[in-house]
Amino acid sequence: MELLDCHSHRPEALRAVIAVSPRQAIEGVTIDGTSRLAAGLHPWWLGDNNAREEALLERAAALPTVVAIGETGLDTLRGPAMEAQLAALRRHIAVAEATGKPLIVHCVRASGPLIKLWHETAPHRVRALVHGFRGNVNVARALLEAGFYLSFGHRFNADALRFTPPERMLAETDDAPLPITDVINTMAATLGIDTTALTERLQANLSTFLS
C-alpha cells in the first residue's frame, strides 16, 4: 500500500506520514504498518531555548523510520516571536538538506516571511510542502513559484485547488478524524475529475515528494 495522506497527527491514520516530535520518533511511537513518520518541532510548542530538542531532531532525522522533516513552520497567530520560529525553521531546512528528506511546513498568515527565508537559504535541494493550505489563488501562486507543493485537507479554497498544477497537489487529514478518502472525494468533486484518477495522481505525487 503506497502512502496517500501526506500529513496526519493521529498514530492510527492509514497510509499516512505521521508528524511526531523528535523524542517520539526516537523512542519509537506505535503507528499503523501502512504509515511512516515525520519528525519535527511544531512552531506552536517552541520554547525560548530549543537546543536540546534540536539535537534530538538531528538524531531522529537520521532514523530509517523517519521519511520527512516536520512539522515545522511559521505562524503569526500562535507560538513564540517570529524570530524564534524563523530560527527553528532554518534548523529544519538544514537538517532536511543534510539528510535529503523533504520538509513539511505549517504556514499561517506567514507566506511572505516563509518565501523570503526560502530564498535566503537557497540554493538547497530540499523539497517542501505547505500543509493544510487554505489560502487564496494569490498565495498559492507565490508558494508554487517558490517551489512548494500544496497539501489540501478537509477545508480549502476551491479556486486555489483548481489553480494548483496536478503534479504539485497533495492531500492530508492533519488532526481530523476522517479517512483520507473523504478529503480526496471532496477534492475530486471540486476539480470535476474522477476520484480514482485523483487518488493515483496523489499517490504518485507523494511518492515523488518523498523520494
State the residues that interact with Zn ion by CB under 5 A: 71, 174
DSSP state at residue 110: -
Helix (H, G, I), strand (E, B) or coil at 180: helix
d(CA 100, CA 61): 10
Where b means 16+ CB within 10 Å and e means fewer, 139-168 reads bbeebbebebbbbbbbebbeebbeebeeeb
Q: Shortest Cβ distance from residue 52 to Zn ion (Å)? A: 22
Q: Shortest Cβ distance from residue 205 to Zn ion (Å)? A: 18
Q: Shortest Cβ distance from residue 19 to Zn ion (Å)? A: 6
In this complex, which beta carbon is closest to Zn ion, that of residue 75 or of residue 174?
174
Q: Shortest Cβ distance from residue 16 to Zn ion (Å)? A: 11
Q: Shortest Cβ distance from residue 113 to Zn ion (Å)? A: 19
In this complex, which beta carbon is closest to Zn ion, that of residue 5 or of residue 192?
5
Contact 155, 178 (CB under 8 A): no
In this complex, which beta carbon is closest to Zn ion, that of residue 39 or of residue 138?
39
For residue 106, the cross-strand partners are 73
In this complex, which beta carbon is closest to Zn ion, that of residue 53 or of residue 174?
174
For residue 4, give the C-alpha cell: 496517500
In this complex, which beta carbon is closest to Zn ion, that of residue 71 or of residue 75?
71
